Amino acid sequence: MKNIDAALHTRGESQYVSDLPKPAGLLYAAVFASPVAHGEIVNIDLKKARQHSGVIAIFTARDIPGENQIGPLIPDEPLLADSMVHYIGQPVAIVVAVSPEAARKAVKSIQMEVKELEVIVDPRAAFQKGEIIGSPRTFELGDVDSTWDVCDVIVEGKCEVGGQEHVYLETQAVRAIPTEAGTMTLYSSTQSPHAVQRTVAKILGIPSHRITVDVKRLGGGFGGKEDQATPWACLAALAAWHLQKPVELVLNRHEDILMTGKRHPYSSDFKIGLKKDGTILAYEVRHYQNAGASADLSPAILERTLFHSTNAYFIPNARIFAVSCRTNLPPFTAFRGFGGPQGMFVMECAIAKAAEVLNIPREEIQRKNLLKEGDEFPYGQKAEAARAEVTWDKAVKTYDLSAIKQRIDKFNQTHFEVKKGYALMPICFGISFTATHLNQGSALVHVYTDGSVSITTGGVEMGQGFSTKVVELAVKTLGISPERIRVESTNTTRIANMSPSAASATTDLCGGATIRAIEQILSRLKRFTAEQLSLEKPDEITIQNEQVLYQGKPTGWDWKELIQRAYMARVSLSAHDFWAPPGIYFDRTTEKGHPFNYHVYGTAIIEVTLDCLRGIYQIDSVHLVHDLGRPVNKLVDIGQIEGGLAQGLGWMTVEDLQFDEKGRLLSNALASYKLPEVYFTPEKIDITLLEKADNPRGPYGSKAVGEPPLMYGIGVYFALRYAMRAFAPDKDFPFQAPLTPERVLINLYGDTKSSSISVKPQSEEKEVQPVSGK
Amino acid sequence: MSEKKNNKVKGITRRDFLKGLGSGAIGSAILTGGGLIPAESKAELLGPGAEKIHGTQKIELLINGKKERLTVEPRTTLLTAIRDKLHLTGTKEVCDRGQCGACTVLIDEKPMLACMMLAVDVRGKAITTVEGLSGSGKLTPVQEAFVEKDALMCGFCTPGFVMAATALLKKNPDPSLEEIKQGLAGNLCRCGTYPKVFEAVKAAAAKMRKGVAHE
């Protein structure tokens, strides 16, 4: 089935928040944000701003009738700064005017006096000063300390990995419309309608049932609207509440990049111990997460870093330490992968370094240590239906790794300025919210008397094709034509307490609930049919191609007739249902449990060509074998794989998020923050889906798809490293991502002695030799 | 900027201002004037036939084959005019700085960025937005190919890509992959649909060539 929104999208008829018809008297809001990264507010002068033509009102923290608090996990984040500011871009006041231009003009004349305080931008510096969020956490398996002695080689190192700006093409957007008796409807571009509802109610000091949040679709989310759509909705609601007029707040691109959180940068130390043959015996890692100024979702993201720090490998002795560090940057937030990619990157760096020291191909260590059935993860869960080895072996065979290696080595022998490189990248990603309680989904299904069907779920369509998959699941369950089925907007009045559309889990949870709701209605319809037609076994009634069959033979009724008769006989044609996958738990005191419903596996082979004079490179090919279970919709899922891959490749290469020491974002526009574009796309992408890969824990045997493919992108870093080493074999490159062309040149020609990488093969200090260009 | 100086600059259209910058003599006049244009240079700068626009103005635009009357300020971009004044919301605002291609429209069949043009500058030109490509409920071959190849996800960049692809195929009915990339180089998609967009444009080209051959 094609994406159900496809034709609308191509005609430009799909409506996003700012496309909705404008209600009469609509006002526009703009946000005044802190220009300094840390300080005490001495005075805010609104006088000049108030005099601007078109300005209706200006609101500050003082105008919040309820609680000035939006922190989703820890109450450490005011909606509007009151006495202190903690990052550049922190909202301080909101201006409401007759046009967005008037509101923005007035924002510029707000003057704030701030007593500036020390600015911290580095997570390790924050840690040193005790500026941490929550408690540090450690996952442990086996006995690391006593294992170092039996290792043939021990390698240590440091990794730096950058953040990533979401650049969802639709910026943060909301429209708040006050309705009668102190109620309000919000049209919000959020992945988490319930979070918006709950938080707006808290800000206004009213019960949740007075707030309705409605979401038709998002112009991209990628995690950036999981929690961080909420403040903008709250601000618009605050203004609408006081003025009793509809208020729209749409950030422009510059404001959005400046004021919203991004993927977390991490700084990590690793130590890995192996046998000579490449078997990993012990691994220890310390992750310092740069959380930004408030907790946001950082503790949950840190948790997924802990879960995925050993990627697709079994390491019998592992100690994983992670701490969330508070800095004066915008609160970093969810981004596809949710902390997992950072953990995996460090693991791959450790393997790369070990391979270089042992002088064996990196993939030898990778293959030798892949998870096998029953292997234990550091969090206590055992690998079930482990597909790390099968996807790896299939990739190596299908895409002929030895031919790739030969081709590349031959090329490198005959080319001096241009070098090729390759890398394998296996992935293992756990599916479930790691906060167990969020693993619940709901659906509400109505069948109307004309036989048309309306489905509302707790899931949000943000381009991931969720609505299309819901239709597909409904068609499979109901046996009627897809044209009869409509997926409605996500709405807090129709579905209560929905979890965010995140963690790749929306189809599993809300799709699962949809199947169950439809089954409820079907079972009533079957009982009714059996009674009416005097059929003995209602279970043997089925609907296929809109025909009602009994034991496979036509009953003479079709779907439409069945529905009309059922309605006349007063059979309920609506159902609400719920799905919470069983067997998921995690104990944070022991850091052990069974947090994931299942895992997604796959392996990618990435090839690159690097111009070692200019630092520029081309991604020649990405070949991958991926485990989708039995896909609900192959077309949608392959789009997700390609899209996730593009974001992962971008994160590791061209997407360079930069802040200066004052906490100012330097890469603050699409001109200074590079995104994957048409020329960045790999010349060749081949995707092979693992066959006969049933998954009894997903709807109709399928597996979640959203996040895992992003992590294939990590492989490009190591493919480029291979090419760099082919050019300068004696040089020791630091592990720092993204590997922009500039950084490639610094690596190739700079003095890497200044890097803090330390390599310690046992009892032997390796000299790092600067190599000049050839 | 003082009120007086402000008034001096007001009567010049943006395009003429930019045009003026291009000529050596006036360029130097502007520079010596401390970045502003001296009043006496104004007449010279504007030249014959130039038009002064103050405050708001009623203009007529030819959009999707229809004459549309609207009131704009000199600074109103074509994008604002299309979206906010005419409520044609298929053209998207993403960066408002000419960096993403989401607001691509056709002006006299050429793909242009609506966020980088002033509404007053496109009077008398044939403007096509995504709404003007096909009749209600119908799809052009380009749109059909985007649907068939699933060359879209969240849909926010899609109208811009469809417009750019339409313009490309008008100019070059049989583009190579390299030419397709060139034609779409100004458009960004964050969902990462590029490989499928390339396929869609190829498929649309084939379909359109076949259509022409049949006629």
Q: CA quadruple A69, A71, A75, A81: dihedral positive or negative?
A: negative
Return d(Cα A352, Cα A356) in angstroms, integer: 6
Q: CA quadruple A340, A343, A344, A345: dihedral positive or negative?
A: positive
Tell me, what DSSP letter sits at residue A150? G
Residue B101 lies in a domain: yes
- Give the CA-trace dihedral at B196, A216, A29, A199, to 10 degrees: -120
Residue of A nearest to B155 (CA): A9
Please indicate whether, in this complex, the C-beta atoms of A219 and B152 are within 8 angstroms of each other: no
Please indicate whether, in this complex, the C-beta atoms of B155 and A5 are within 8 angstroms of each other: yes
Give the tens place of pLDDT for each residue, A116-153. Answer: 999 999 999 999 999 999 999 999 999 999 999 999 99
The reply to whether A106 and A206 lie within a common domain is: yes
- ipTM higher than the 0.90 cut: yes
**Confidence tier at A348 by pLDDT (50, 70, 90):** very high
Q: Which long-range CB contacts under 8 A does A22-27 form with residues at least 24 apart?
A: A22/A248, A23/A177, A23/A246, A25/A245, A25/A246, A26/A175, A26/A245, A26/A246, A26/A247, A26/A248, A27/A56, A27/A96, A27/A97, A27/A98, A27/A239, A27/A243, A27/A245, A27/A246, A27/A247, A27/A248
Domain boundaries, position B114: 56-132
Is the pLDDT assigned to residue A332 strictly greater than 60?
yes
User: What mean pLDDT is predicted for residues A679-697?
Assistant: 95
Whether B177 and chain A come into contact, CB under 8 Å, resolves to: no
The reply to whether A542 and A690 lie within a common domain is: no
In angstroms, what is the C-alpha Rg of chain B?
Answer: 20
Residue A125 lies in a domain: no
Length of chain A: 774
Give A19's contacts in chain B (Cβ within 8 Å). Answer: 89
Residue B214 lies in a domain: no
Give the tens place of pLDDT for each residue, B118-159. Answer: 999 999 999 999 999 997 779 999 999 999 999 999 999 999
Relative to beta strand A453-457, strand A485-487 is parallel
Geometric angle at alpha carbon A667, from A666 and A670, rounded to 5°: 145
Return d(Cα A645, Cα A687) in angstroms, integer: 11
Give A166's contacts in chain B (Cβ within 8 Å). Answer: 190
- SS3 state of residue B50: coil
**Confidence tier at B213 by pLDDT (50, 70, 90):** low
Phi, psi dihedral angles at B98 (to 5 degrees): 70, 30
Q: Residue B214: its pLDDT value, please?
A: 56
H-run or E-run covering A603: strand A598-611
User: What mean pLDDT is predicted for residues A208-230?
Assistant: 98
The reply to whether B24 and B71 lie within a common domain is: no
Q: Residue B135: its pLDDT value, please?
A: 78
Chains A and B: how many Cβ contacts under 8 Å?
A: 160
Interface test with A, best of B138, B182, B191 (most A CBs within 10 A): B191
Q: How many helices (H) and strands (E) does chain B have?
A: 9, 5
Q: Across chain A, what does the average pLDDT equal?
A: 96
The reply to whether A551 and A640 lie within a common domain is: no
The verdict on pTM exceeding 0.90 is: yes
Is the pLDDT assigned to residue A473 strictly greater than 70?
yes
Q: Which of A344, A519, A539 is nearest to A426 (CA)?
A: A344
The reply to whether B172 and B197 lie within a common domain is: yes
Please indicate whether, in this complex, the C-beta atoms of B97 and A253 are within 8 angstroms of each other: yes
Q: Name the residue with higher pLDDT: A80 or B49.
A: A80
Give the tens place of pLDDT for each residue, B68-81. Answer: 999 999 999 999 99
Tokens standing for residue A103: 């509101």
The reply to whether A479 and A552 lie within a common domain is: yes
Return d(Cα A183, Cα A439) in angstroms, integer: 29
Please indicate whether, in this complex, the C-beta atoms of B184 and A8 are within 8 angstroms of each other: no
Percentage of residues in chain A with pLDDT exceeding 70? 97
Q: Residue A17: its pLDDT value, please?
A: 98
Is the pLDDT assigned to residue A760 strictly greater than 70?
no
Residue at a domain's end among A579, A596, A619? A579
Give the tens place of pLDDT for each residue, A164-176. Answer: 999 999 999 999 9
In CATH, what number is assigned to the domain containing residue B127? 3.10.20.30
Taking the CA of residue B193 and the nearest CA in chain A, the distance in Å comes to: 6
Residue B126 lies in a domain: yes
User: What mean pLDDT is predicted for residues A191-218?
Assistant: 98
Give the tens place of pLDDT for each residue, A714-736. Answer: 999 999 999 999 999 989 999 99
Whether B63 and chain A come into contact, CB under 8 Å, resolves to: no
The reply to whether B170 and B187 lie within a common domain is: yes
Our count of domains for chain A comes to 3
Residue A133 lies in a domain: no
Q: Residue A576: its pLDDT value, please?
A: 98
The reply to whether A215 and A295 lie within a common domain is: no
The reply to whether A180 and A279 lie within a common domain is: no
The whole-angstrom distance between residue A500's C-alpha and the CA centroid of its chain comes to 11
Residue A489 lies in a domain: yes
User: What mean pLDDT is predicted for residues A289-315?
Assistant: 98
Q: Which of A165, A255, A472, A707 is catalytic?
A: A707
Taking the CA of residue B197 and the nearest CA in chain A, the distance in Å comes to: 10
Residue at a domain's end among B103, B132, B161? B132
**Confidence tier at B44 by pLDDT (50, 70, 90):** low
- SS3 state of residue B74: coil
Return d(Cα A643, Cα B191) in angstroms, integer: 5
**Confidence tier at A318 by pLDDT (50, 70, 90):** very high
Please indicate whether, in this complex, the C-beta atoms of A167 and B190 are within 8 angstroms of each other: yes
Is the pLDDT assigned to residue B40 strictly greater than 90?
no
- SS3 state of residue A690: coil
Return d(Cα A666, Cα A660) in angstroms, integer: 7
Whether B124 and chain A come into contact, CB under 8 Å, resolves to: no
Give B102's contacts in chain A (Cβ within 8 Å). Answer: 169
Our count of domains for chain B comes to 3
Q: Residue A292: its pLDDT value, please?
A: 98
The reply to whether B64 and B115 lie within a common domain is: yes
Is residue A371 within 8 A of residue A315, CB to CB? The reply is no
- SS3 state of residue A288: strand
Q: Residue A756: its pLDDT value, please?
A: 39
Whether B70 and chain A come into contact, CB under 8 Å, resolves to: no
Give A685's contacts in chain B (Cβ within 8 Å). Answer: 195
Residue A520 lies in a domain: yes
Return d(Cα A594, Cα A434) in angstroms, integer: 10
The reply to whether B120 and B148 lie within a common domain is: no
The reply to whether B186 and B152 lie within a common domain is: yes
Q: Residue A753: its pLDDT value, please?
A: 52
The reply to whether B46 and B76 lie within a common domain is: no
The reply to whether A191 and A235 lie within a common domain is: yes
Please indicate whether, in this complex, the C-beta atoms of B192 and A677 are within 8 angstroms of each other: no
Q: Residue A311: its pLDDT value, please?
A: 98
Is the pLDDT assigned to residue B33 strictly greater than 50?
no
End-to-end CA distance of chain A: give it in Å, rounded.
Answer: 54
Q: Name the residue with higher pLDDT: A401 or B13.
A: A401
The reply to whether A559 and A609 lie within a common domain is: no
Q: Residue B136: its pLDDT value, please?
A: 73
Q: Which of A256, A585, A610, A183 is nearest to A411 (CA)?
A: A610
Q: Residue A771: its pLDDT value, please?
A: 37
Give B198's contacts in chain A (Cβ within 8 Å). Answer: 678, 681
Q: Residue A774: its pLDDT value, please?
A: 31
Q: Residue A758: its pLDDT value, please?
A: 38
Phi, psi dihedral angles at A112 (to 5 degrees): -125, 130
Q: Residue B55: its pLDDT value, please?
A: 84
Q: Residue A722: its pLDDT value, please?
A: 98
Q: Residue B52: its pLDDT value, please?
A: 67
The reply to whether A43 and A179 lie within a common domain is: yes
Residue at a domain's end among A532, A561, A579? A579
Give B83's contacts in chain A (Cβ within 8 Å). Answer: 18
Residue B118 lies in a domain: yes
User: What mean pLDDT is predicted for residues A208-220?
Assistant: 98
The reply to whether A329 and A353 lie within a common domain is: yes
Domain boundaries, position A278: 266-434+588-749
The reply to whether B41 and B63 lie within a common domain is: no
In CATH, what number is assigned to the domain containing residue B186? 1.10.150.120
Please indicate whether, in this complex, the C-beta atoms of A639 and B139 are within 8 angstroms of each other: no
- SS3 state of residue A75: coil
Is the pLDDT assigned to residue A677 strictly greater than 90?
yes
Whether B97 and chain A come into contact, CB under 8 Å, resolves to: yes
Residue A129 lies in a domain: no
The reply to whether B198 and B158 lie within a common domain is: yes
Is the pLDDT assigned to residue B1 strictly greater than 90?
no
The reply to whether B200 and B156 lie within a common domain is: yes
Residue at a domain's end among A259, A294, A328? A259
Residue B194 lies in a domain: yes
Give the tens place of pLDDT for each residue, A19-66. Answer: 999 999 999 999 999 999 999 999 999 999 999 999 999 999 999 999
Length of chain B: 215
Residue A604 lies in a domain: yes
Least confident of A284-293, A423-432, B14-23: B14-23
The reply to whether B146 and B197 lie within a common domain is: yes
Is residue A26 within 8 A of residue A74, CB to CB? The reply is no
The reply to whether A606 and A722 lie within a common domain is: yes
Q: Residue A510: its pLDDT value, please?
A: 98
Return d(Cα A563, Cα A521) in angstroms, integer: 11
A707 catalytic? Reply is: yes
Give the tens place of pLDDT for each residue, A624-661. Answer: 999 999 999 999 999 999 999 999 999 999 999 999 99
Give B150's contacts in chain A (Cβ within 8 Å). Answer: 2-3, 6, 635-636, 638-639
Return d(Cα A98, Cα A96) in angstroms, integer: 7
Residue A444 lies in a domain: yes
Residue of A nearest to B152 (CA): A6
Residue B215 lies in a domain: no
Return d(Cα A488, Cα B112) in angstroms, integer: 35
The reply to whether B109 and B81 lie within a common domain is: yes
Q: Residue A337: its pLDDT value, please?
A: 98
Return d(Cα A631, Cα A291) in angstroms, integer: 35
Return d(Cα A267, Cα A261) in angstroms, integer: 18
Tokens standing for residue A642: 């390609």
Please indicate whether, in this complex, the C-beta atoms of B147 and A676 are within 8 angstroms of each other: no
Return d(Cα A141, Cα A315) in angstroms, integer: 8
Is residue B195 within 8 A of residue B159, CB to CB? The reply is no
Give the tens place of pLDDT for each residue, B56-108. Answer: 999 999 999 999 999 999 999 999 999 999 999 999 999 999 999 999 999 99
